[in-house]
Structure 1
Amino acid sequence: MITRFGFFLFVIFTYFLVLFFYCEINNTLDVFNYVTFLFITVWSTFKISINKYAYSFNVFYWLFVLLFFAIFPTLQYSTKAFPWGDNPTEATVLKANCIIIFSCMVYETFYFWGTRNREGSNGSLSKLWTVKFSPLNYKIGFIIFLFCSALIVNTLGFSSLFSRANVNEVSSESGASTIQMLLFDKLTRSPILFFTLITINFYFIEKKISWLTLLIVLTISIITNFPLALPRYFLGAFYLGVILNCKRVLKSPLLIPSVLICSLIIVFPLLTLSRYSFATWSYIVDNFSSIISLFWSSGDFDAYSMLCRSISYVDSHSMSYGGQLAGAMFFFVPRAIWPNKPVGTGFMIAESLGWDFKNVSCPFVAECFVNFGYLGILVLIGIVAYVIARYDKFYWQYLNSAKSNNFWIVLYPSLMGLFFFMLRGDLMSSYAYIFGLLTVALMFQFILRLRWVEIVRTKTS
């Protein structure tokens, strides 16, 4: 059992080891930067250590801050090895740290306000959001589930189900664009995920289906959504959703944070390598130590460096005054209708720097700053903090009740995984994925709630 105090001491001790081996102070700004990095580390570790729930949006927020805005940036700053090169100046790093601290203060204030607000009402658990079981509707959902699974197998091929590198080769050979592949993923994987989640709930909560049905659904779901072949944004959404709907209550409140930290440090590098055909098992075994040690300076941990570049971009080009936010919110509007539709903020910054590679992140706090500066951080992070505070409270308030088979309770773990992705950014991509998942799930919910027998009788009469 991991104790709260033990977790706190372990993280802080590890962080001081990092400082001892890598810290090099050359001027006064270095001192301020390391002090602010240490402050962010202690604050986020403390918030994770005292978390009330075994998992929540709040825990994921502070985990993101700890890893992407404290530990890995300290390593990058100490070794002058920021992702994508072109290291930020000491002054920019100090400004970035002050912005992170300010954003955390805003988040903490609004999250506290959200938890202290009135108790959740039973209106939130209205019949509209109840995932109802009907044998006929479940069979119709199962047919949709099988169709989406068969479509994935037919499009990608069986061998591509187990490797992202093979998926990339198939998409290249077919001439499919990135947008087409993303659309394909949303329209096929989202129904599979939602049907799998409601199957788990019908088995564990309502006891309406057999263990054999559950086993068949889980087997097909895992084969068509194998970890090494999934897009990384969907990996957390799928497996968090499946695991935490199977086992909603965990004994240790620090199990999920500990597993996630280890996964990001060890498992994540291996999943990234799985995209490339040269990354055979022998290559990974022979180069394991170097893969892990160099991963923290790779593009997967570019959130902090992109925050620094966002600050420099605003200093040079001024804010977008909501332009980037509008582009993200209305991502579904075609460019044929909106010719000047903004590109993703990460793409925009990379383009301004003249980079050839533009598929970079842009953390949510940087999105806020690029759009409206400090006011954007105050308003947008405040809104997000308040909403997830209400959602966290709602989930844990009704989780063990007789009405826990609710649409928003079923999707909570999956949305929690996508929230982590949204924090890393950029907003246009992450919002599109969240919007797509919710839209498909809502359509599925609507199909499962239709009274098919009455519809057929009406048409035949």
Structure 2
Amino acid sequence: MTSVHTSAHGSAVGKTVDQAVDTAARPERSRARGGPPEPPERPIAWAMLSRAVSVPLILGLVCFLPAVIAAQPGSGVRDTAYWLQLVLTCYAGARLATMILSTRRRLLQGVFWMFVYIAMGVAPFAQVVIGQTPTPAVGPRSDLVTAIAMILVGCAAFDLGALLASRRPLRRRTPSARSTSGPAVAHPLRLRLLVLIAFVASGFYVLKLGGPAVFFSSRQEISETVAASGVASTESNVGSAFLKGFGTVPALLALLFYTRRLVTSYRARRTPSTVLVWGGLAVLNLVVNNPISNARYWFLTVLVSLLFTAFPSSAAIYRTVLATGVVGALVLFPYADKFRYDEEGQRTVQSASVFEPLATKDYDQTVMFANTISWVDTRGHTYGRQLAGSALFFVPRAVWSGKPEDTGVRVGQWMGMRMTNLSAPLWTEFWVDFGATGMAGGMALIGYAAARTDRRYALAVTRAGPGPGSVLAIAAPLIAGYTFILLRGPLLQAAGKLAIAALCLLLITTFRERRAVRRR
């Protein structure tokens, strides 16, 4: 194995990290499993294919779609906000096209640019053209101009952080005969404990809400049932968050680990107990994590993480998720809240244009950033208080009387809105605490961490072997799916499930593995 790693490192000149590791490690892994060597990738064939699709893809994302939106009738004014939004849309479209056409599978960066292109590019551009927004803008037009400019700055900072991460070499841990320390992997016995926790926690969640039938009604009925159960109080939603979190997150993580085990191990696919456990987890997730009783962003997390786990090395699946995600978000997502309310409370959507729902539903990220700028102008920055409230989400308000509320809720209350379940994108969270400088620095750190995680993930999936395997091979797809929620915000709402996932991963993680070199 030492020679394989040396060969991979030597051939990495002029190639990406995952290309080099894939090319060198694939035949060795195949021989270790007793099968014929897998054929190497064909970069020349893919280069020809990428050239064939790159021109229409780039033209479609950067030129055609913005031009179609610009031609829509509306009362929008073509001022500075219009042109800045057009630049942001084209910039995000170009970066998304780069992610789709790349030979590397950059999960976190790809999902980031897909979100930016849709929620902070195309949709706000349609709102500027049509002259409507899902949430009213209460401040002056200059605050909207500032918001769009700061989103652009944040995107550039994200790219800068990713560029710095790509310049720093990765440290690879290669176990030796004297040392058994290696990458973080899932301990088999602890994984079984996670499965037990998943069934117990989800079973309690289902029983507490009155049985499986409630999960196939509507989100409104779920919320009412949780409120009637006495778990949540009028002063704090910590109990409700923990009930939902432990009822859904361990079940998803256990399913992801067993999915990876079946994908990477022929022996596991031939073991009836493993297949039965996977089937039970699939049924459990169908109940607690179905799209009817869960928020659309959470179901996207489930779907994206499952796809990336089931096809860890498939570039086609990666590109398909990014490409079809744009179409689904623009055409289907505004209509996907059919099960949010019951039949009496169901809101119907009537639209004469495919772009009108983008201006009237869901995508309020940019206008909420503008409203947040107006709010901060009246009261000043909080200098870390909002982020501290998100990090200490688990502290009840009975203990911390001055615990900050969701950023979206606080801004909504200041605006006088009755419905305060409003977004607070990640740019907003940094802006509230630290202003423009802190926002740029925060986004640069996010870009750096995303790029490093993507590179580590590319190495982790190439080391696939029998058993649960690398924890990062599961954590990265989960974070990629959860990126939609983190970027949309508020962070206080998103922190609960993320912390529960981290606890579950810590529970099953071990840094011990079998010795790579046996004594003769």
TM-score by length of 2: 0.77
What's the CA shift string for 1:74-128, capped at 9, x where partnerless? 1212222112224654322221121111111211111110121122422799557
- For residue 144 of structure 1, the aligned residue among 197, 201, 211 is 197
- For residue 357 of structure 1, the aligned residue among 401, 415, 419 is 419
Q: Distance in 2 between matches of 1:104 and 1:371?
A: 18
Q: Are 2:372 and 1:322 aligned? A: no
Match of 1:395 in 2: 457
Match of 2:8 in 1: none
SS in 2 for 1:129: strand
Name the structure with the higher helix share: 1
* Residue range with higher mean Cα deviation, 86-95 or 372-381: 86-95
Q: Are 2:324 and 1:269 aligned? A: no
Match of 1:336 in 2: 398
Paired residues, number? 440
CA apart distance, 1:10: 1.8
Q: Distance in 1 between matches of 2:410 and 2:441?
A: 23
SS in 1 for 2:240: helix
Distance 1:269 1:24, change over 3 A: closer
CA apart distance, 1:307: 0.5
Match of 1:158 in 2: 212
CA apart distance, 1:373: 0.8
Q: Distance in 2 between matches of 1:415 and 1:227?
A: 19
- For residue 408 of structure 1, the aligned residue among 467, 472, 489 is 472
Match of 2:28 in 1: none
CA apart distance, 1:420: 2.0
Q: Are 2:345 and 1:295 aligned? A: no
CA apart distance, 1:413: 1.0
Match of 1:39 in 2: 87
CA apart distance, 1:16: 0.5
Q: Distance in 2 between matches of 1:273 and 1:317?
A: 38
- For residue 294 of structure 2, the aligned residue among 230, 239, 249 is 230
- For residue 116 of structure 1, the aligned residue among 159, 164, 167 is 167
Q: Are 2:184 and 1:129 aligned? A: yes
Q: Contact 2:75–2:131 at 8 Å: present in 1 too?
A: no
Q: Distance in 1 between matches of 2:55 and 2:181?
A: 41
Give the counterpart letter for 1:32 in structure 2. Answer: T
Q: Distance in 2 between matches of 1:72 and 1:89?
A: 20
CA apart distance, 1:371: 0.9
Q: Contact 1:22–1:75 at 8 Å: present in 2 too?
A: no
Q: Distance in 2 between matches of 1:103 and 1:428?
A: 21
Q: Distance in 2 between matches of 1:190 and 1:435?
A: 10
* Residue range with higher mean Cα deviation, 143-152 or 124-133: 124-133
Query: For 1:15-94, what aligned pairs fall within 5 Å after superposition?
Result: 15-22=66-73, 26=77, 30-51=78-99, 52=102, 53-86=104-137, 88-94=139-145
Match of 1:454 in 2: none
Q: Contact 1:168–1:275 at 8 Å: present in 2 too?
A: no
Identity %: 20
CA apart distance, 1:410: 1.1
Query: For 1:240-255, what aligned pairs fall within 5 Å after superposition?
Result: 240-252=304-316, 253-255=318-320
* Residue range with higher mean Cα deviation, 428-437 or 362-371: 428-437
CA apart distance, 1:324: 1.3
Query: For 1:435-450, what aligned pairs fall within 5 Å after superposition?
Result: 435-445=499-509
Q: Contact 1:37–1:74 at 8 Å: present in 2 too?
A: yes
Q: RMSD over aligned Cα, in angstroms?
A: 2.9
List alignment gaps of at least 5 residues for structure 1: 450-461
* Residue range with higher mean Cα deviation, 258-267 or 423-432: 258-267
Q: Contact 2:305–2:477 at 8 Å: present in 1 too?
A: yes
Match of 2:60 in 1: 10
List alignment gaps of at least 5 residues for structure 2: 1-48, 513-520
* Residue range with higher mean Cα deviation, 413-422 or 49-58: 49-58
Give the counterpart letter for 1:48 in structure 2. Answer: L
Match of 2:284 in 1: 220
Distance 1:55 1:155, change over 3 A: farther
Distance 1:16 1:294, change over 3 A: closer
Distance 1:306 1:203, change over 3 A: same
Match of 2:436 in 1: 374
Give the counterpart letter for 1:9 in structure 2. Answer: L
Q: Distance in 1 between matches of 2:335 and 2:76?
A: 33
Distance 1:314 1:193, change over 3 A: same
